[in-house]
A and B are shown apart, each in its own frame.
Chain A
Amino acid sequence: MKSDLAIRARGLSKHFGSLRAVDKLDLDVPKASIYGFLGPNGSGKSTTIRMLCGLLTPTEGRADVLGFAVPEHSKELKPRIGYMTQKFSLFGDMTVVENLEFIAEIYSFPAAHRAARVDELLENYDLTEQRKQFAGTMSGGQKQRLALACAVLHHPELLLLDEPTSAVDPQSRRDFWANLFRLAERGTTILVSTHYMDEAERCHRLAILDHGVKVADGAPNELQQSTGMHVVEVQADDPYHAQTALIQLPGVASVTQLGVRLRVLIPESVDDPVALVDQGLRKQKLPAKSRIVPASLEDVFVAVTMKPEQLAA
């Protein structure tokens, strides 16, 4: 059973003083899949990734990465993982090719195949034209492609990507994900952290982190089906006042405005959510049309990160 998992963590915790950055995290990441960490800033995504590659020592709990316990065996682990930091961390005063060659040397990539591998990466990651350019002068998307090329140079079994797309435009993000799918297809396990919903949707599985606690995990569509909430979409003439009116209704857990539409989350325990919304709005004389819609990942996120007191209301 263990052999199907690239990462297995139990009760993994990291405390910085009184702050519980990561709190009793259980994690099962199947091999050759893209696993997403979704969560707002400060939810413990980076800390978890750093513990998994042996950079930080867990306060409690244990984790096996590719069968190696971290951080005790992180030395054996290092050659098998690729890591892409949140901030661009290659050498700005060296050219694209020099950066790749340096990484190749660091990983003791066989000298005979080095040049061929560098050319292959330049080709795959569309950097051939920039080969002589200093890394520091490149655009966000180019830097990100270079960082990924460096991270996969030594054919790692596991890729850890810490918010890789936070500094690039939408087109670069699309291309980037195309690259990730290709890598996963060839058997690489990829753990990627993000705070973009659309990216989370592309993952095979994902875990939602909030204040260091895993509040949900599963495949995106599973999560969308098991929110425990009805999602009512309301098209109102006066969405702003409709929102104010709805949030005060007993039984309404959350209201989010998306342009002229409102997404209203109502616990499944309420029998007729549409009626609840319609009545509430009619009382305030706010004309609107409402209907039940399937939950989006954002609804899932809102639902699972909700405070218990909000849920009670």
Chain B
Amino acid sequence: MAVMRKEVRQLRRDRLTFGMIVGIPLMQLLLFGYAINTDVRNLATAIADEANTHLSREFVAELNATQVTNIEYRVDTAAELERMMQSGKISIGVAIPHDFDRRVADSTRAAVHLLVDGSDPTIAGIAEKLRSMPIGFDTGAAARNPGLIEVRPYYNPERRTPMNIIPGLIGVILMMTMMMFTAVAIVRERERGNLELLINTPVTSAELMIGKVVPYIGIGLVQLALILVAGRLLFDVPVRGSIIDLYLAAGMFIAANLALGLFFSTVAKTQFQAMQMTFFLMLPSILLSGFVFPFDGMPVIAQVLGEALPTTHLIRLTRGIMLREATLGDMPGELIFLGAFAVAATTAAALRFSKRLD
């Protein structure tokens, strides 16, 4: 297949693109793997202990032991806590009133005031957790509240963020690179004038499309291997399910994205336009796919939009296969969606692309 061989040859010479094939996955993996960490620890905290009793000191020690807070300052009044929070020195302020011991025993009154920097949603979430922290301790008082529900996180007992991030990252990385490469594939030839020559040869539209897409499927699968190996070595993220299932799912996803990229390529007049179109789709794919925010927690409109994105479906598949040991048979709907999307996008691209200039 001449077009394919030509494409591979050109790709090999294009150092920058070649670097991106390896660079983008690795960079994102490190970025997301290390920097994004939703288990919050060591929040800067100040304590205003107005009671300063045996019980209050024990409470502070207990708080410190959770490692969520890092007590950096001790001040005298609650008003000072507010000032420190405003200036951004602390994320959490703990005000212990002087009648702390009495309040602990009285279940109708709050024993401790927690000042939380609500401008950061993750920190606000943490405060909720701290609220249920048992206080009372050695007094054995009625205020003790062990919590009614015990949470046991399946599949990720240590609640490590990379376990969630990396299966999702597969979708995001493949989407970004695959769509970007093919989005510019045809436009580039149009801009360089190659297309006018190509469409004057007996080459058919289908040959041209397939020749352009197939090398990238290979690249996508290599990228997948790269992510899996790096995820394993650096972050200890396992593939619990079948690796073949994973590759099948990813292959279908790659095809869907390549086809979509190709469609963009037939619509766009310049490489710049094609790039903009991919960026236009990139943001929702990262935000609405369940990669960053839990899908079920999103507003209905966001869910509807998210449902239309291939990335959403792939992330469900990768999380299922890699972490829950699911098989493709457990989640046929997701795979069918990806397949249908690929077929629809290819058809659209082929219809848009004609071997004429007008």
- Please judge, given known A-B contacts A55-B357, A93-B13, whether A107 and B201 are in contact too, CB under 8 Å: yes
- Asked if A56 lies at the interface with its beta carbon under 8 angstroms from chain B, I say yes
Q: Are A105 and B197 in contact (CB under 8 A)?
A: no
The docked-state distance in angstroms from the alpha carbon of A85 to that of B200 is 10
Judge whether B196 and A106 touch: CB under 8 Å. Answer: no
Given the known interface contacts A71-B356, A102-B2, A106-B2, the answer about A90 and B203 at a Cβ–Cβ threshold of 8 Å is no
Smallest distance from the beta carbon of A192 to chain B beta carbons, Å? 16
A63 within 8 A of B: no
What B residues does A79 contact at CB under 8 A?
Answer: 202
User: Which residues 1-23 of B have a CB within 8 angstroms of A?
Assistant: 2-3, 5-6, 9-10, 13-14
- A85: which B residues are within 8 A, CB to CB? 193, 196-197
Question: B residues within 8 A CB of A102?
Answer: 2, 5-6
Complex Cα–Cα for A89 and B197 (A): 6
Sorting the interface of chain A by its residue count into under 10, 10 to 19, 20 to 34 or 35 or more gives 20 to 34
The verdict on B129 contacting chain A, using a C-beta distance below 8 Å, is: no
A-facing mask of B166-203, CB < 8 A → 1, else 0?
00000000000000000000000000111111111111
Partner of B200, one of A53, A90, A91, A92: A53
Q: Which of B42-95 contact A (CB under 8 A)?
A: none
Q: Give the residues in chain B near A108, CB-CB below 8 Å.
A: 202
Q: Please determine whether B14 and A93 come into contact, CB atoms closer than 8 angstroms.
A: yes
Residues of chain B within 8 A (CB-CB) of A53 are: 200
Interface of A (DSSP majority class): loop
Closest B residue to A53 using CB positions: B200
In chain B, residues 321-358, which have Cβ atoms closer than 8 Å to a Cβ of chain A?
355-358
Q: Are A78 and B356 also in contact (CB < 8 A) when A55-B196, A92-B192, A94-B6 are? A: no
Interface pair B202/A91, CB less than 8 Å apart: no
Question: Does A103 lie within 8 Å of B194, measured CB to CB?
Answer: no
Whether B203 and A106, one on each chain, are in contact in the complex, defined by CB atoms closer than 8 angstroms, is yes
In whole angstroms, what is the CA distance A105 to B196 when docked? 17
| Contact residues in B for A88 (Cβ distance below 8 Å) | 193
**Once bound together, how far apart are the Cα atoms of A90 and B193, in whole Å?**
8
Evaluate contact between A94 and B10: CB separation under 8 angstroms. yes
- Among residues of A, the one whose C-beta sits closest to the C-beta of B201 is A106
Q: Are B199 and A55 in contact (CB under 8 A)?
A: yes
Write the nearest CB–CB distance from A69 to chain B, whole angstroms: 15
Given known A89-B193, A93-B10, contact A57–B201 (CB-CB < 8 A)? no
CB of B9 within 8 A of CB of A50, answer: no
Query: Contacts A85-B197, A103-B201 hold; do A56 and B2 have CB atoms under 8 A apart?
Result: no
Beta-carbon nearest neighbor of A136 in chain B: B192
Complex CA gap A56/B199 in Å reads: 11
Contacts of A239 in B (CB 8 A): none
A56 — which chain B residues lie within 8 A by C-beta?
356-358
Quick one: closest B residue to A84, CB to CB? B197
Chain A residue numbers with a CB within 8 Å of B201 are 78, 103, 106-107
- Taking a contact as CB atoms closer than 8 A, the residue among A81, A89, A91 that contacts B6 in the complex is A91
Whether a CB of chain B sits under 8 angstroms from the CB of A35 is no
| Minimum distance in angstroms from B185 CB to a CB of chain A | 14
**A71 vs B355: C-alpha distance when bound (angstroms):** 11
Q: B196: which A residues are within 8 A, CB to CB?
A: 55, 85, 87, 89
Residues in B neighbouring A37, C-beta threshold 8 A:
none
| Residues in B116-173 with C-beta less than 8 Å from chain A | none
A83 surroundings in chain B (CB, below 8 A): 197, 200
CB within 8 Å for A55 and B356 given contacts A85-B196, A91-B10, A93-B10:
yes
Q: How far is the CA of A78 from the CA of B200 in the complex (A)?
A: 6
Bound Cα distance from A110 to B134, whole angstroms: 84
Bound together, the chains give a CA A150 to CA B9 distance in angstroms of 19
Q: Which residues of A contact B193 (CB under 8 A)?
A: 85, 87-89
Residue of A74, A85, A89 with highest tally of chain B CB at under 10 A = A89
Contact A89 B194 (CB under 8 A): yes
**B353 to chain A: closest CB distance in Å?**
14
**Is A54 interfacial (CB 8 A cutoff)?**
yes
User: CA A57 – CA B197 in complex, angstroms?
Assistant: 17
Cβ of B9: which chain A residues have Cβ within 8 Å of it? 94, 98
- Which of B5, B198, B356 makes the CB contact (< 8 A) with A57? B356
> Contacts of B2 on A, CB cut-off 8 Å?
102, 105-106
Determine whether the beta carbon of A107 is less than 8 Å from that of B197.
no
Once bound together, how far apart are the Cα atoms of A181 and B9, in whole Å? 36
Contact (Cβ within 8 A) A50 B357 = yes
Chain A residues within 8 Å of B198, by CB: 106
Distance A56 CA – B357 CA, assembled complex (angstroms):
6
B203 neighbours in A (Cβ, 8 Å): 106
Cα of A75 to Cα of B10 in the assembled complex, Å: 27
Which of the residues B5, B194, B355 comes within 8 Å of A91, measured between beta carbons?
Answer: B194
A106 to B14, alpha carbons, bound, how many Å?
A: 22
Instruction: Give CA–CA (A91, B192) in the complex, Å.
Output: 8
Write out the residue numbers on chain B whose beta carbons fall within 8 Å of the beta carbon of A74: 355
Q: Which residues of B contact A55 (CB under 8 A)?
A: 196, 199-200, 355-358
Q: B194 contacts which chain A residues (CB < 8 A)? A: 89-91
CA distance A87 to B10 in the complex (A): 20
Q: B192 near A78 (CB under 8 angstroms)?
A: no
A83 to B199, CA, bound (A): 10
Within 8 A of A (CB), among B230-278: none
Q: A90-B197, A91-B194 are contacts. A54–B202 as well, Cβ < 8 Å? A: no
Shortest beta-carbon distance from B350 to chain A in Å: 16
CB contacts (< 8 Å) of B356 on chain A: these are 54-57, 71
Task: List 7 interface pairs A-B (beta carbons < 8 Å), by A numbering.
Answer: A78-B201, A94-B13, A102-B6, A105-B2, A106-B198, A106-B202, A150-B197
| Closest A-B pairs by Cβ, 6 of them | A105-B2, A89-B193, A89-B197, A83-B200, A87-B193, A55-B357
Q: Which A positions have Cβ atoms within 8 angstroms of B?
A: 50, 53-57, 71, 74-75, 78-79, 81, 83, 85, 87-94, 98, 102-103, 105-108, 150
Known: A78-B200, A94-B9, A102-B2. 11 other contacts (CB 8 A): A54-B355, A55-B196, A55-B200, A56-B358, A87-B196, A89-B195, A90-B194, A90-B197, A94-B13, A106-B198, A150-B197
The interface of chain B, by Cβ under 8 A from chain A, is 2-3, 5-6, 9-10, 13-14, 192-203, 355-358
